[in-house]
Amino acid sequence: MKVTTMISRILCALIFIMLNISAQAQVYKWVDADGKVTYSDVPPPKTAVKVETKSFSSSDTPNVALPYELAQAVKNMPVVLYTGDNCIPCNDGRTFLKQNGIPFSEKTVATNADQEKLHAISGANQLPFILIGRSKMTGYSFSEWRNSLSLAGYPASNMLPADYQYPVPQPAAPVAAAKTADTPAAPAPVPAVQPQESNAFQF
């Protein structure tokens, strides 16, 4: 009975540590001289044997457990947002997603390669562009985005845990290999805002 109780306590301690671990933290597992297994975010003593370490960073998959309904929506209908600099509709769209507790990955459009990738996916050069599963929408519209997210199974109310960390934005077309030092990179064209469209950003 004592062994079972000890194992249960160890498992509970491990789960607690994993759920509350912060960015760039580490979890240590070691066995002491008496054969007792310990899990902790504090480095083990020098007398410890069979030490194992697991590192986590903010770039890893978020380690916060999502409510079932939200987790299913993320799994079946992931959200990807394409944005650009100095794009007010992009900022509005990003704010909307975060205020509504929608997990999403963000792709930035800044270079010629990024713009080509955006055009290949969306068929246009407007931002923001959002993918909700296979559903595609160009430009920000509160009602259209909310309706599409609801159809995709995302909860109407914000159910995202307070300690959830959004992934760091990545380029739409990541550079496959570094350019040589003697080959200067071509400057990206400066997008021009279309005044007549308040919900989209035109290249």
Instruction: Collect all residues with Cβ–Cβ distance below 8 Å to 162 and sequence separation of at least 6.
Output: none
- Strand-pair category, 79-83 with 105-108: parallel
Distances (CA, A) of 184 to 108, 176, 179, 181, 187: 21, 16, 8, 7, 9
Burial class of residue 200 (count of CB atoms within 10 Å of its CB; 0-12, 13-18, 19+): buried
Q: Tens digit of pLDDT for each residue in 13-61?
A: 555 455 444 444 455 566 777 777 676 656 777 676 655 655 444 444 4
pLDDT at 177 over 50: no
Which structural domains are found in the chain, ordered by start?
Answer: 23-57 (no CATH), 68-179+186-202 (3.40.30.10)
84-131: per-residue pLDDT in tens? 999 999 999 999 999 999 999 999 999 999 999 999 999 999 999 999
* Confidence band for 139, pLDDT divided at 50, 70 and 90: very high
